[in-house]
A and B are shown apart, each in its own frame.
Chain A
Amino acid sequence: MKKLAILGAMTAAGLTAGAASAATLDDVKARGTLNCGVTTGLVGFAAPNANGEWEGFDVGVCRAVAAAVLGDPTAVEFVPTTGKTRFTALASGEIDLLARNTTWTFSRDVDLKFEFVGINYYDGQGFMVPKELGVSSAKELDGATVCIQTGTTTELNLADFFRANNISYEPVPIETNAEAQPLYLEGACDVYTTDASGLAATRAAFENPGDHVVLPEIISKEPLGPLVRHGDNDWADINRWVLNALIAAEELGVTSANVEELASAPGDNPEINRLLGTEGTLGEMLGLDADWAKRAIMAGGNYGELFEKNIGENTPIGLARGLNAQWTEGGLLYSPPFR
């Protein structure tokens, strides 16, 4: 039944594709809300809080885009997607933006006709095992039962890793992260594998996080980023530069606390002025107004603030910046200049 529904959606998408791909920006403005695809629930990245409001690192990207485009960070309709449904949802036009720790790969970019607008988290696939097993390296996992989310790059990486090391394993395919947790905790699988950030988030949600260890091996490169459909370059540009604005804001020292003041009048730093619209016409070029970046930064803070608030070292998830530090601090984050 579900498959038939997808086919129906695909057919419908085929019939309306001509109209949908024209101008996503106009559609979003006319609708008044941004449809943003997120995970079905991964604490720290995207999960509803106790009040039912979505929050998290990926949610922050959605809110920043909504703030820049619509002027209201809460004008977002969050659409939970699984690893399996996310691409169909985006391709069919059900969502305007997919911010769901999705790995940027060649085939997704080229063959599936999507446009990755940047990288908001540099990740890699890791393994988590119970401490009592006494495993210290992924190469000791011969014969283990491995829980794995289907429809992700992780199952391909896993097959390659075990084949390259000539060890065997028993895959247990699972649809969502939420289903994987009880299976892993009950011991139906020895190992849980997904992106290292996801492991940290999952472990943080456990009753006794200390009973589980994340193994040191990172077996793949997983650059995670938001993506949009091919064919609407204007919309892709808006999303790309909202993300860049958040990253550049951290580099330039613009935070949610001082952005109001910095945007009130042109300051000494011309790049800040251009970013915040007190100088130049960057917003107009994007088809937005001059304050777009200011609103995006005010929505949840700059990249560093989003990181610290949702997944940083002071949160239960406790991820270090590592590769995700600014290039000036030894990381990989490097926004192209605003000029």
Chain B
Amino acid sequence: MSTYSDPPSGSFQLSMLINDTRYRSYTFQFVALLLLVLGMAYLGWNLVQNLAAAGLNISYQFLGEPAGYDINQTLIPYTSQSSHWQASMVGVLNTLLVAFLGCIMATIIGVAVGVLRLSNNWIVRQLMSIYVEIFRNVPVLVWILIIMAIFIAVLPQPRDFRGDDAEASMFLNAFAFTGRGFYSPAPIFGPGSGVVVAVFLASIAGIFALRNYATKALYQRGQLIPTLWPSIALFFIPAILAFYIMGRPIGLEYPELRGFNFQGGVFMRNSLIALWFALSIYTAAFIAENVRAGILAVSKGQTEAAASLGMRPNRIMNLVVLPQALRVIIPPLISQYLNLTKNSSLAIAVGYMDLTGTLGGITLNQTGRAIECIVLLMLFYLTISLVISALMNVYNNAVKLKER
């Protein structure tokens, strides 16, 4: 026999929405949801009404109109006659550029500092903790301004390069380090240069293939194939041979002082360098702490076991500790990359024309479309952040501990 009894099968009554525990929570949740929706609708309606009353109609037509202003650093073609949308795109690319450069440099510095903070050398350890504490605890805007100010004050300006007994001179006659930025020679690709570039790319692919092959050979057959010198040879020799065979098609354009500025060559603006550097060293301090935490999270037994197998400290770090530490390091690293990207919106402090400077700055001012610009700006940053987050999550899945 069964003691199981069916719930009373009476017809559904409205009072059961309150009295019956099966429905009560749904009732309350539904009421709460309804109130929330009504509340939001009221606020939204109020906003629309009052904006309309104040004569502020939401319109994105301005995006198609000519921007009318110039931007110094443009990665895509842009003139003052281009549209505001094009100006926003220039800003997006500038944001992505500084974020990309910054993330790479912050990672390099951060990992190095993080590892060195655990060094056995007392001085190195203390120096690294001083670095971390100083850079982590001063606002990044201050660092941006300090670095820019030092940059402008210390380095010579183009005017110092002028004249016969100039105060400053170019490095190797090819590089100019000025307070306005760095100038370096730019390659000029003549006819036939495509072959050289192709050969160079092919030899890079060759280096990767060789290293893959060597790893496989080591793991499968226990055979040790030297990779260092063949890699270096592969890197240089085919490209140089192709360069001379094709009759030296690639030349260099040297920067030279003409008029007010250096002309020609590659120009890296002081604003980009200062912003890049400041964001990197600031974020690197946080990354260093993440790295240190990740390494400390790997049990000491692992290190000792590896040491007892006769591995050298470098190899222990590279082959045993870091691979396990990465799964602890990467999730907070994603946050640091996102922080760096968002902190790049301080760029206007040094006159770097990022997304905030173009769409959220000059476009906003010249059109007076504050709400539209800010909403669009938020959407752009949201998209960029989510994309970075997604990419890093893919990487995290690739390196995280595989549980089988």
**CB within 8 Å of B: which residues of A?**
3-4, 6-7, 10-11, 13-18, 21, 83-84, 87-88, 91, 107-108, 111-113, 132-133, 141-145, 150-152, 155-156, 158-160, 162-163, 169-175, 182-183, 186-188, 190, 230-231
Q: Evaluate contact between A14 and B51: CB separation under 8 angstroms.
A: yes
Which chain B residues lie closer than 8 Å to A14 at the CB level?
Answer: 46-47, 50-51, 54, 56
Q: How far is the CB of B400 from chain A (nearest CB, A)?
A: 33
On whether A7 and B72 interact (CB within 8 A), knowing A21-B54, A183-B152, the answer reads no
Q: What are the 9 tightest A-B residue pairs by CB atom distance, in nearest-first order?
A: A187-B157, A151-B365, A159-B80, A112-B368, A144-B260, A17-B54, A143-B259, A14-B50, A17-B50
On whether A155 and B152 interact (CB within 8 A), knowing A143-B258, A188-B180, A230-B55, the answer reads no
Q: Give B352's nearest chain A residue, CB to CB.
A: A173
On whether A10 and B362 interact (CB within 8 A), knowing A113-B55, A145-B261, A174-B351, the answer reads no
Interface residues of B in 344-363 (CB under 8 A from A): 345, 348-349, 351, 353, 356-357, 360-362
Q: Evaluate contact between A173 and B357: CB separation under 8 angstroms.
A: yes
Q: Tell me which of A14, A88, A108 has the highest count of chain B C-beta atoms within 10 A of its own C-beta.
A: A14
On whether A186 and B157 interact (CB within 8 A), knowing A143-B259, A145-B180, the answer reads yes
C-alpha gap A183/B271 in the complex (Å): 12
Q: Evaluate contact between A155 and B362: CB separation under 8 angstroms.
A: yes
Q: How far is the CB of A18 from chain B (nearest CB, A)?
A: 6
On whether A171 and B260 interact (CB within 8 A), knowing A14-B50, A18-B50, A151-B361, the answer reads no
Q: Tell me which of B50, B260, B271, B365 has the highest count of chain A C-beta atoms within 10 A of its own C-beta.
A: B260
Flag whether B374 is at the interface (Cβ < 8 A).
yes
Segment of B63-71, B185-193, B276-284 in the binding face: B63-71
Flag whether B138 is at the interface (Cβ < 8 A).
no
For this complex, 9 residue pairs linking A to B, each with C-beta atoms less than 8 Å apart, are: A143-B263, A144-B261, A145-B261, A150-B348, A160-B68, A160-B80, A182-B149, A190-B261, A230-B55
Q: Is the interface of B mostly helix, strand, loop or mixed?
A: helix
Q: How far is the CB of B19 from chain A (nearest CB, A)?
A: 41
Which chain B residues lie closer than 8 Å to A11 at the CB level?
Answer: 47
Q: Evaluate contact between A150 and B54: CB separation under 8 angstroms.
A: no
Which chain A residues lie closer than 8 Å to B80 at the CB level?
Answer: 159-160, 163
Which chain A residues lie closer than 8 Å to B374 at the CB level?
Answer: 3-4, 6-7, 10
Q: Tell me which of A87, A91, A145, A175 has the highest count of chain B C-beta atoms within 10 A of its own C-beta.
A: A145
Flag whether B211 is at the interface (Cβ < 8 A).
no
Which chain A residues lie closer than 8 Å to B68 at the CB level?
Answer: 156, 159-160
C-alpha gap A113/B52 in the complex (Å): 12
Q: Evaluate contact between A187 and B159: CB separation under 8 angstroms.
A: yes
Q: Evaluate contact between B365 and A142: CB separation under 8 angstroms.
A: no
Interface residues of B in 50-84 (CB under 8 A from A): 50-51, 53-56, 68-72, 79-81
Q: Evaluate contact between A186 and B351: CB separation under 8 angstroms.
A: no
Q: Evaluate contact between B356 and A141: CB separation under 8 angstroms.
A: no
Q: Give B158's nearest chain A residue, CB to CB.
A: A187
Flag whether B179 is at the interface (Cβ < 8 A).
yes
Query: 0/1 per residue, B361-404, Cβ < 8 Å to A?
Result: 11011111011001101100000000000000000000000000
C-alpha gap A186/B151 in the complex (Å): 11
Which interface class (under 10, 10 to 19, 20 to 34, 35 or more) fits B?
35 or more
C-alpha gap A188/B349 in the complex (Å): 15
Q: Give B55's nearest chain A residue, CB to CB.
A: A113
Flag whether B123 is at the interface (Cβ < 8 A).
no
Q: Evaluate contact between A170 and B361: CB separation under 8 angstroms.
A: no
Taking A150-B361, A158-B70 as known contacts, 4 extra A-B pairs with beta carbons closer than 8 A to each other, sorted by chain A number, are A17-B53, A162-B70, A173-B361, A175-B349
On whether A173 and B362 interact (CB within 8 A), knowing A144-B259, A158-B70, A187-B157, the answer reads yes
Q: Evaluate contact between B348 and A143: CB separation under 8 angstroms.
A: no
Flag whether B153 is at the interface (Cβ < 8 A).
yes
Q: Evaluate contact between A188 and B152: CB separation under 8 angstroms.
A: yes
C-alpha gap A21/B50 in the complex (Å): 11
Q: Evaluate contact between A186 and B153: CB separation under 8 angstroms.
A: yes
C-alpha gap A158/B351 in the complex (Å): 17
Q: How far is the CB of A186 from chain B (nearest CB, A)?
A: 5
Q: Evaluate contact between A84 and B54: CB separation under 8 angstroms.
A: no
On whether A108 and B371 interact (CB within 8 A), knowing A144-B259, A150-B361, the answer reads no
Which chain B residues lie closer than 8 Å to A170 at the CB level?
Answer: 72, 261
Which chain A residues lie closer than 8 Å to B81 at the CB level?
Answer: 163
Q: Evaluate contact between A173 and B53: CB separation under 8 angstroms.
A: no
Q: Give A132's nearest chain B residue, CB to CB.
A: B159
Q: Give B368's nearest chain A residue, CB to CB.
A: A112
Q: Evaluate contact between A111 and B368: CB separation under 8 angstroms.
A: yes
Q: Evaluate contact between A87 and B263: CB separation under 8 angstroms.
A: no
Q: How far is the CB of A149 from chain B (nearest CB, A)?
A: 10
Which chain A residues lie closer than 8 Å to B365 at the CB level?
Answer: 83-84, 87, 150-152
Q: Give A13's nearest chain B residue, CB to CB.
A: B54
Flag whether B94 is at the interface (Cβ < 8 A).
no
Q: Give B347's nearest chain A residue, CB to CB.
A: A173
C-alpha gap A14/B368 in the complex (Å): 15
Q: Give A159's nearest chain B residue, CB to CB.
A: B80
Which chain B residues lie closer than 8 Å to A133 at the CB level?
Answer: 159, 260
Which chain A residues lie closer than 8 Å to B349 at the CB level?
Answer: 175
Flag whether B290 is at the interface (Cβ < 8 A).
no
Partner of A188, one of B47, B51, B270: B270
Q: Evaluate contact between A188 and B157: CB separation under 8 angstroms.
A: yes
Q: Evaluate contact between B370 and A6: CB separation under 8 angstroms.
A: yes
Which chain A residues lie closer than 8 Å to B271 at the CB level?
Answer: 172
C-alpha gap A190/B260 in the complex (Å): 7
Which chain B residues lie closer than 8 Å to A91 at the CB level?
Answer: 54, 370
Q: How far is the CB of A156 from chain B (nearest CB, A)?
A: 5
Partner of A175, one of B53, B54, B348: B348
Q: Evaluate contact between A151 and B356: CB separation under 8 angstroms.
A: no
Which chain B residues lie closer than 8 Å to A84 at the CB level?
Answer: 361, 364-365
Partner of A145, one of B69, B260, B364: B260
Which chain B residues lie closer than 8 Å to A108 at the CB level?
Answer: 368
Q: How far is the CB of B326 from chain A (nearest CB, A)?
A: 32
